[in-house]
Structures are given as structure tokens and as C-alpha cells.
């Protein structure tokens, strides 16, 4: 059996936490023994700290509710909210078979087969439980608070994970770090009702259970991790990360000679049961056996069988030479069979090739060249250094330190966390949104650094000040650091230095807490539906134009009206406006989106033909020229041109540029000045003075006077414009009478 730093020694039979809790209870119930033993004190402090962290993780995410209101944020959460609402109203069967005719008109969308239902089912289950307990809550409140609730649960998982890979001290620090880490908060504030909210919990839980299974070799833990994986698959497409990281981890263990029966049990059980369970999700279906992204897991599965077989043969064969020959034959045979199977599967089309999204993860420049629709999303951009700093702060420095500690004490568990940390860090660098996946690993590894450092330093401080008290830590580390302490004892100022370093660590952690709170309250708590700005007198000005427009659509247009807008607003229009949209954030049909992009970038008469063919009744554009709101449709327009031009070569990007420059003022390209998007955005804008001392028609978002002030619309008419002009809705006129 391969060497392992923590061999499969049986864990203390009753789980340690429960026995400690029992002790704790005894202390509470029998008030005679008010004096607690050190161990009990430690437990009391640990439980208290964990409870506080649990609460802290929840309430720090409530900034958005305090600053704004209890509402659903951004884009995708509106779809999730709408489907959850449908689920709670119509029950699971209806939800599962729902054909949504309100989106992707005239194609529609099969909701049950094209979504990860984990989030909706979780929220609905919470809602049903609360209803059963007679808490008359609204489903919206449940949805808003789902993400913070799961963030709290994540801190608990982080604690246990930290405890599993290092010690309980590292677990507590990890829980505390992840509770307030901005990288995670960005996706889990109250109202951010998105898949990631529960998926990070599921991800970490799966990893924790898997590591636990590898450490113990217990079938029960492996099964639990398979169920964790099932939950993850049902919640988020990011499960692909698990199904690739775990085999990679197994492979590394195999290569480094750490193969054990524990690993065999853990991986086989987790993979087989997890795969079968995952196939129950309609959106995933048979991908586990048919898609290229999942083939690594299957390959490792077979490899593991070969390994086991070889182990068995070696056990039977006493002759080392014979075994060597046998090994060579088997390995060659297995590898060639695997390669042939993969080759045949790929060639016959049984195994689908990697998807564009997967490619773009491996090659950051891929999306830019081939799939503009992925590249156009801001959260798919490569990460800037500043956002690493913003989201991780001191963890960025602690991360390498933690890696050092991990390498110093290599075990199956620390190898896992190192691999998780390194791979997710790479993905975080490729795409901004994947910082989220890296956050738990970064927190855990940093926690190891913090915990180990602080522990060593305090031991130094205490070893001098008084008689050495034996800590409750594990034998190995105690021995190591005490021996270090003996050496260090000879150095002068060592204690003062340790105190200074402790203060430094304390200062760093304080800065981290301050930074996290500040980031949460300032940057990550905006719902982006409601915009807030500072007025001239420092007062808070609210721009509620999105909801104004959506509510207008909801109340004052025919119930079957079709609204055309850029896909960003599709989910919001269906959820808040309750109207049919042509395209939405699902982006499953590139041609359809390109058609809308083409309509937006054509002249009005050409666009009218397209809109007639799509049965469009209203066109909605977002315009920030009056308020200076920069993420409006004019700024997104080049993507519409690109995506439209990708399918319809009539649309050529250079037509909209002047010397490669994108302009909207007098020097803009003539096609730009007369395309539908320009006309709809700036219709009658030339009559309005937006800023004192500037000519009328001054676009505050781009800081220029617009180039075409005399816009006449022939086929459309202004139906509604919100108070601050952020959303403008136009009605498509019926065709003229021919006579």
C-alpha cells in the first residue's frame, strides 16, 4: 500500500463534535460544575464562534436589503424567481413539463429540460416547509434570502473541511474568512437568487464529503458525496469542474504512488452513484457518458479498475519480474483500448466534442474569436488584477503561504485542497465570474496559513511566559513546533518578535474585515435594477426606471404583446413585465439573437421587415444619455453588430466605425447615425438640454453632442419613456393600408 501521512487509522468511534457537545451540555445542565475544563472551554468557544460566524455570514449579506429593499437582483435571478413562482403555484409536475411560450418567440423554450432545477426546488422546499410550519412568508422573501442562508451553511462546511484537511483551528479561520470574503459575497447577497448561491455550498460539500471519504475509505461518506454531487449537478453547470477535478486528483494520487483502497472505494462509489443520479437531471441527461467534458472521469474510473486489478495480481504473483511484464502488457492494453474507444466514440459522434464554453476556459482567447455571444458578457472577461485584489484582499498573499504549509504537511487531503486551489485560481484568471469557484479554496488555504502561523507564534509567546501548556493540537505539529521552539529559545527578542508578528497578523485580518464590509456595502449590494446616485446636495437619488418601464408594459400593453429588446433584458421583461420576448438571457439560439442584432443595426425600413416577420409589437431600448448611465444599449451596440454580422454578413462592423473608432457625434459613420438602435435611443433627444452650459442633445453617458438630432420615425412610435429616459419603449405601427 502506498504511503500516506495519515493512514487509514480508525477515527475516534463517537464523532468528536457530538461527544464535545455532550460535554458542553453536561456543563450547562449541571450548574454546580461551573468551572469548565480546558477542553470544554475550548469547545464552548468554538461553538460560540461558529454560531457567530454563521449569523455574521447571513447578516453581512443583508446590506442590499437595508440599502435598497427585499428584491431580486440583476438578470438571471429574475428567471429563477419566475420559475420558482411557477413551481410553487403549479407544482412539480407542471414545472418539469413546462413549455414556456413567453420567451424566444416564436420558438418557445422547454423550461424543464433546459434548466438546473436545484435552486428552484430548494427555494420551493424551504417555502413549503415554512408554510407547513405556518409561517406566512411570501415566496419572494424566501428567494431573496436563499443565497445568504446557503452562504451561512457554507461556513459550516468550510469549518468541517478545514478541520478535515488541517485542524479545527484552521476550520474556524476558514469559516470566518469565507463568511465575509467578497469573492463569494458578490454572488450571494440577499436578492442574488442565482444558481451559484446554492452551488458553492454544494460544491464545497461534495469536496468535503469526498475528501472525508478518501480519508476514511468509508462507503457511507462516498455515498454522501455522491448525493452532494447530485445536488450540485441539479443546481449549477459548474458541476463540470467537480467531475474533472476529482478524476484529476485521483490521477495525481495514482501517479504520486498514493493509491489506496480508500481512494478506490471513495472514487468508484462517488463516480458511479453520482453519475447515475446526475442522469436524472433532464438538462444533463446522458452527458456523463456522451460528452467529451465528462470523459476524463470515465477514463480515470477504468484506470482505477486496472490499478486495482494490478494490485490484486501483484498480490497473487510473487515473482516481481513476471509482474513487471504483466504490468507492461496490461497498461499498454488498457491505454490502447481506452484510446481506441475514445477515438471511435468521437469519430462516430457518440461522444460529443467539447463545447465552446469549455474551450474558452482552456483558451481565454477562444471566445473572442469564435463565440462573440460569450465574449460579450462582462462577467466572462479575463480577470483583471484589481478584481483579484478587490475580491481576495489579503487572501491573495496568504494563499501562497498556505500552499507552503500544505506542501510541508502533504496528505491526501492537503493534496486535494492544493489542486483545487491551483486549478480554480487558473479558471478565476480566465473568467471573472469563476473567482467565485476559487474563493472557497483560497479561503481554506489562507486559513491554513493564518491558523498555522498564529498557532506557532502563540506557542512561542506562551512557552516563554509560563510553563508550556500542552495544546489540543495533533501530535505531529506539536512535536514539530515544540522542537522549533527549543531551537528558537536561544534567540533574543524572539518573544517580542512573536508578539509583533501576532499584532501584524491581527492588523492584517482587521484590514481584511474592514475591506470586506466596505466592498459588500459599496460594490456588491446594488440590485442593478434600481440605480442609486448621489444628488447635488449629497442626498440619495433613486432611478427606478427599469421597473417603471416593466410595470408599464405589464399594465398597459395587450397580454400577448411581443417585446423585442437586446437579450440582456429578456428575463426581466418576462418576469417583471409579464410579456413575451423574442430573445432572453438563455442565449441558446444564436441565430435568433443575431436576427435581433441585425434588426437593431439595420435602417428602419429593413428593421421593420424583420420586426414584422418576428411579429414584434414593442421595441425596448435602454438609454443612458440623460442620466449618464453607461451600460446602455448604445455602448453594447457593437456587440449587436458583431453578433448580427456573425450570422448575417450584410451587417459589417466597419460600417459603424470611423477609422476604427466608435462614435455617436457628428463624426459618426452615416450607417451608425441612421440605424434603428441609434434612432430609438436618440429619438427627440436633440430637443432636450441635459446639462447646464451644454448644447441640447448632449449625451452624458458618452460626453458628446449627438450627431443626428432630427430623427424621424416612420414605422415606429414612442409608446413610453421612463422618467429619466433610461428605458424607452416604441410601438411598431401596423402596416399601412394599401389603398
Partner 1 sequence: MEEQPHFRVPLSLLLFLSLFLLPTSFSSTHDLQILNAERRIDLTSHIIKVYLTLKVENLGTSPASEVHLAFSPAEAEHLAIVKAAATSGKRKKKTYIPLDVKSAELPDGPNGTKFFTVTLLTSLNKGETATLEVLYILTHSLEPFPVEITQSESQLVYFRDSAILLSPYHVKEQTTFIKTPSTRVESFTVVDPAKRAGTELKYGPYEDQPPYSYSPVLVHFENNNPFAVVEELEREIEISHWGNVQVTERYRLVHAGARHKGAFSRVEYQTRPDATGVSSFKHLLAKLPPKVHSVYYRDEIGNVSTSNLRTDYRKSELEFQPRYPLFGGWKSTFVIGYGLPLQDFLFESPDGRRYLNFTFGCPLTQTVVDKLILKVVLPEGSKDPTAVIPFQVDQHLEIKYSYLDVIGRTVVVLEKSNVVPEHNVPFQVYYTFNPIFMLAEPLMLSIAIFLFFVASVSYLHADLSIRK
Residues linked to residue 488 through DSSP beta bridges, in sequence order: none
Examine residue 282 and tell whether it contacts partner 1 (CB under 8 A): no
Examine residue 59 and tell whether it contacts partner 1 (CB under 8 A): no
Examine residue 725 and tell whether it contacts partner 1 (CB under 8 A): yes
Examine residue 709 and tell whether it contacts partner 1 (CB under 8 A): no
Residue closer to partner 1 (CB basis): 295 or 573: 573
Closest CA to 178 of 57, 59, 60: 57
Please choose, out of 13-21, 159-167, 499-507, 628-636, the segment that lies near partner 1 by the rule CB under 8 A: 13-21
The values of phi and psi at residue 721, to 5°, are: -135, 135
Q: Which of residues 567-626 bind partner 1 (CB under 8 A)?
A: 576
Examine residue 695 and tell whether it contacts partner 1 (CB under 8 A): no
Examine residue 14 and tell whether it contacts partner 1 (CB under 8 A): yes
End-to-end distance of the chain based on CA atoms, in angstroms?
91
Single residue of 71, 165, 180, 434 touching partner 1 by CB under 8 A: 71
CB 8 to partner 1: min, Å:
16
- Give the span between the Cα atoms of 327 and 634, in whole angstroms: 64
Q: Are 86 and 578 in contact (CB under 8 A)?
A: no
Examine residue 358 and tell whether it contacts partner 1 (CB under 8 A): no
Please choose, out of 366-374, 411-419, 499-507, 718-726, the segment that lies near partner 1 by the rule CB under 8 A: 718-726
Give the cell for residue 76. 438571471
Single residue of 135, 350, 506, 588 touching partner 1 by CB under 8 A: 135
Single residue of 60, 152, 525, 722 touching partner 1 by CB under 8 A: 722
What is the DSSP track for 699-737? ETTTTEE-S------SSEEEEEE-TTSSEEEEEEPPPPP
Give the position of cell 443626428: 708
CB 218 to partner 1: min, Å:
12
Q: 236 in the Ramachandran plot: left (φ > 0), alpha (ψ -120 to 50) or beta?
A: beta
Single residue of 3, 12, 13, 32 touching partner 1 by CB under 8 A: 13
Residue closer to partner 1 (CB basis): 661 or 687: 687
Examine residue 67 and tell whether it contacts partner 1 (CB under 8 A): no
Residue closer to partner 1 (CB basis): 457 or 553: 553
Q: Which of residues 149-188 bind partner 1 (CB under 8 A)?
A: none
**Number of neighbouring beta carbons within 10 Å of residue 366:** 17
Task: Report strand pairing: 727-732 vs 618-622.
Answer: antiparallel
- Give the span between the Cα atoms of 385 and 428, in whole angstroms: 11
Q: Are 640 and 567 in contact (CB under 8 A)?
A: no
Examine residue 694 and tell whether it contacts partner 1 (CB under 8 A): no
Give the cell for residue 124. 420551493
For 480, counting Cβ atoms within 10 Å of its Cβ (0-12 exposed, 13-18 middle, 19+ buried), the class is middle
Task: Report strand pairing: 618-622 vs 540-543.
Answer: unpaired
CB 11 to partner 1: min, Å:
12
Single residue of 2, 21, 389, 468 touching partner 1 by CB under 8 A: 21
Examine residue 684 and tell whether it contacts partner 1 (CB under 8 A): yes
Examine residue 219 and tell whether it contacts partner 1 (CB under 8 A): no
CB 177 to partner 1: min, Å:
29
CB 713 to partner 1: min, Å:
9
Give the cell for residue 739. 389603398
Examine residue 136 and tell whether it contacts partner 1 (CB under 8 A): yes
If residue 288 lies in a helix (H) or strand (E), which one and from where to where? helix 287-290
Q: Which of residues 498-557 bind partner 1 (CB under 8 A)?
A: 529-530, 542, 544, 547-548, 550-552, 554-556
Q: 349 in the Ramachandran plot: left (φ > 0), alpha (ψ -120 to 50) or beta?
A: left
Examine residue 235 and tell whether it contacts partner 1 (CB under 8 A): no
Examine residue 462 and tell whether it contacts partner 1 (CB under 8 A): no
Give the cell for residue 685. 433627444
CB 720 to partner 1: min, Å:
5
CB 529 to partner 1: min, Å:
8
Single residue of 301, 308, 390, 720 touching partner 1 by CB under 8 A: 720
Q: Which of residues 407-446 bind partner 1 (CB under 8 A)?
A: none
Single residue of 5, 16, 22, 365 touching partner 1 by CB under 8 A: 22
CB 191 to partner 1: min, Å:
10
Examine residue 69 and tell whether it contacts partner 1 (CB under 8 A): yes
Residue closer to partner 1 (CB basis): 368 or 684: 684
Closest CA to 630 of 530, 722, 700: 700
Task: Report strand pairing: 698-699 vs 704-705.
Answer: antiparallel
Q: Are 565 and 573 in contact (CB under 8 A)?
A: yes
What value, to the nearest 5°, has the Cα angle with vertex 197 and ends 540 and 192? 25
Please choose, out of 16-24, 112-120, 311-319, 662-670, the segment that lies near partner 1 by the rule CB under 8 A: 16-24
Single residue of 475, 490, 660, 687 touching partner 1 by CB under 8 A: 687
Examine residue 134 and tell whether it contacts partner 1 (CB under 8 A): yes
CB 192 to partner 1: min, Å:
15
Residue closer to partner 1 (CB basis): 544 or 606: 544
Which runs of E-coded beta strand occur in 130-289?
none
Examine residue 397 and tell whether it contacts partner 1 (CB under 8 A): no
Residue closer to partner 1 (CB basis): 25 or 350: 25
- Give the span between the Cα atoms of 70 and 455, in whole angstroms: 42
x/- track of binding to partner 1 for residues 23-42 (CB under 8 A): --x-----------------
Closest CA to 12 of 470, 474, 369: 474
Give the position of cell 460529443: 352
CB 614 to partner 1: min, Å:
22
- Give the span between the Cα atoms of 483 and 90, in whole angstroms: 66
Single residue of 143, 174, 721, 732 touching partner 1 by CB under 8 A: 721
Single residue of 3, 9, 12, 18 touching partner 1 by CB under 8 A: 18
The values of phi and psi at residue 363, to 5°, are: -125, 105
What is the DSSP track for 129-157? HHHHTT----HHHHHHHHHHHHHHHHHHH
Give the cell for residue 85. 413562482
Please choose, out of 435-443, 561-569, 670-678, 717-725, the segment that lies near partner 1 by the rule CB under 8 A: 717-725
Please choose, out of 201-209, 339-347, 613-621, 681-689, the segment that lies near partner 1 by the rule CB under 8 A: 681-689
Residue closer to partner 1 (CB basis): 468 or 532: 532
Q: Are 590 and 647 in contact (CB under 8 A)?
A: yes
CB 71 to partner 1: min, Å:
5
**Number of neighbouring beta carbons within 10 Å of residue 220:** 12
Give the position of cell 444533463: 284
**Number of neighbouring beta carbons within 10 Å of residue 537:** 6
What is the DSSP track for 341-381? HHHHHHHTTSSBPPPHHHHHHHSTTHHHHH-HHHHTSGGGS
Examine residue 700 and tell whether it contacts partner 1 (CB under 8 A): no
Give the cell for residue 696. 441640447
Examine residue 324 and tell whether it contacts partner 1 (CB under 8 A): no
Examine residue 655 and tell whether it contacts partner 1 (CB under 8 A): no
Residue closer to partner 1 (CB basis): 287 or 565: 565
Contact residues toward partner 1 (CB under 8 A) are 13-14, 18, 21-22, 25, 69, 71, 134-136, 529-530, 542, 544, 547-548, 550-552, 554-556, 576, 684, 687-688, 717-723, 725, 731
Amino acid at each position: 500500500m502506498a504511503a500516506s501521512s495519515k493512514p487509514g487509522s480508525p477515527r475516534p468511534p463517537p464523532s468528536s463534535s457530538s461527544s464535545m457537545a455532550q460535554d458542553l451540555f453536561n456543563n450547562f445542565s449541571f450548574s454546580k460544575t461551573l468551572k469548565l475544563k480546558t477542553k470544554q472551554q475550548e469547545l464552548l468557544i468554538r461553538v460560540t464562534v461558529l454560531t457567530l460566524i454563521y449569523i455574521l455570514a447571513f447578516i453581512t449579506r443583508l446590506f442590499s436589503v437595508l440599502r435598497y429593499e427585499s428584491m431580486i437582483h440583476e438578470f438571471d435571478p429574475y428567471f429563477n424567481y419566475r420559475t420558482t413562482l411557477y413551481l410553487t403555484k403549479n407544482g412539480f409536475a407542471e414545472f418539469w413539463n413546462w413549455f414556456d411560450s413567453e420567451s424566444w418567440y416564436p420558438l418557445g423554450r422547454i423550461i424543464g429540460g433546459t434548466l438546473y432545477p436545484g435552486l428552484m426546488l430548494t427555494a420551493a422546499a424551504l417555502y413549503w416547509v415554512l408554510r407547513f410550519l405556518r409561517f406566512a412568508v411570501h415566496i419572494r422573501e424566501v428567494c431573496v434570502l436563499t443565497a445568504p442562508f446557503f452562504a451561512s451553511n457554507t461556513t459550516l462546511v468550510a469549518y468541517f473541511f478545514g478541520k478535515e484537511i488541517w485542524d479545527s483551528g484552521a476550520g474556524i479561520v476558514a469559516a470566518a474568512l469565507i463568511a465575509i470574503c467578497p469573492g463569494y459575497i458578490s454572488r450571494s447577497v440577499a436578492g442574488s437568487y442565482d444558481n451559484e448561491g446554492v452551488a458553492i455550498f454544494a460544491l464545497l460539500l461534495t469536496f468535503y464529503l469526498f475528501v472525508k471519504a478518501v480519508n476514511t475509505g468509508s462507503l457511507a461518506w462516498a455515498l454522501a458525496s455522491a448525493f452532494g454531487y447530485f445536488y450540485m449537478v441539479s443546481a449549477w453547470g459548474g458541476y463540470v469542474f467537480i467531475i474533472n477535478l476529482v478524476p484529476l486528483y485521483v490521477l495525481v494520487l495514482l501517479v504520486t504512488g498514493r493509491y489506496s483502497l480508500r481512494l478506490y472505494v471513495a472514487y468508484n462509489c462517488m463516480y458511479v452513484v453520482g453519475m447515475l443520479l446526475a442522469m436524472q437531471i433532464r438538462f444533463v441527461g446522458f452527458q456523463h457518458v456522451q460528452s467529451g467534458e465528462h470523459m476524463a472521469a470515465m477514463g480515470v474510473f477504468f484506470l482505477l479498475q486496472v490499478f486495482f486489478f494490478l494490485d490484486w495480481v501483484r498480490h497473487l504473483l510473487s515473482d516481481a519480474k513476471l509482474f513487471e511484464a504483466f504490468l507492461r502488457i496490461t497498461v499498454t492494453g488498457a491505454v490502447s483500448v481506452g484510446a481506441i474507444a475514445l477515438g471511435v466514440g468521437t469519430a462516430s459522434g457518440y461522444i460529443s466534442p467539447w463545447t465552446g464554453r469549455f474551450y474558452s476556459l482552456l483558451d481565454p482567447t477562444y471566445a473572442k474569436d469564435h463565440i462573440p455571444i460569450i465574449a460579450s458578457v462582462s462577467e466572462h472577461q479575463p480577470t483583471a488584477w484589481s478584481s483579484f485584489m478587490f475580491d481576495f484582499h489579503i487572501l491573495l498573499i496568504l494563499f501562497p503561504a498556505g500552499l507552503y504549509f500544505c506542501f510541508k504537511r502533504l496528505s491526501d487531503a492537503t493534496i486535494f485542497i492544493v489542486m483545487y486551489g491551483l486549478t480554480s485560481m487558473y479558471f478565476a484568471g480566465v473568467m471573472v465570474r469563476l473567482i467565485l469557484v476559487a474563493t472557497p479554496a483560497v479561503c481554506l488555504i489562507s486559513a491554513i496559513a493564518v491558523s498555522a502561523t498564529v498557532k506557532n507564534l502563540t506557542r512561542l509567546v506562551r512557552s516563554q511566559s509560563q510553563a508550556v501548556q500542552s495544546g489540543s493540537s495533533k501530535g505531529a505539529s506539536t512535536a514539530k513546533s515544540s522542537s522549533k521552539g527549543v531551537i528558537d529559545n536561544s534567540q533574543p527578542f524572539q518573544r517580542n518578535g512573536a508578539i509583533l508578528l501576532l499584532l501584524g497578523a491581527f492588523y492584517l485580518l482587521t484590514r481584511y474585515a474592514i475591506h470586506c464590509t466596505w466592498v459588500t456595502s459599496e460594490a456588491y449590494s446594488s440590485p442593478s435594477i434600481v440605480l442609486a446616485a448621489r444628488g447635488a446636495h449629497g442626498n440619495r437619488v433613486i432611478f427606478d426606471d427599469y421597473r417603471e418601464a416593466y410595470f408599464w408594459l405589464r399594465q398597459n400593453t395587450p397580454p400577448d404583446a411581443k417585446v423585442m429588446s437586446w437579450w440582456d433584458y429578456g428575463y426581466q421583461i418576462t418576469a417583471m413585465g409579464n410579456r413575451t420576448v423574442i430573445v432572453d438571457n438563455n442565449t441558446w439560439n444564436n441565430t435568433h439573437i443575431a436576427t435581433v442584432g441585425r434588426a437593431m443595426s439595420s435602417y428602419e425600413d429593413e428593421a421593420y421587415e424583420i420586426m414584422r416577420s418576428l411579429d414584434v409589437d414593442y421595441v425596448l431600448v435602454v438609454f443612458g444619455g440623460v442620466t449618464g448611465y453607461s451600460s446602455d444599449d448604445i455602448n453594447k451596440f457593437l456587440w449587436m453588430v458583431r453578433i448580427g454580422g456573425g450570422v448575417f454578413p450584410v451587417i459589417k462592423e466597419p460600417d459603424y466605425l470611423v477609422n476604427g473608432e466608435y462614435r455617436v457625434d457628428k463624426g459618426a459613420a452615416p450607417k451608425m447615425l441612421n440605424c434603428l438602435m441609434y434612432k430609438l435611443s436618440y429619438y427627440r433627444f436633440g430637443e432636450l438640454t441635459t446639462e447646464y452650459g451644454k448644447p441640447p442633445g448632449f449625451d452624458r453617458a458618452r460626453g458628446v453632442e449627438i450627431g443626428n438630432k432630427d430623427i424621424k420615425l416612420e414605422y415606429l412610435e414612442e409608446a413610453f419613456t421612463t422618467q429619466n429616459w433610461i428605458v424607452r419603449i416604441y410601438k411598431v405601427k401596423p402596416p399601412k393600408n394599401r389603398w
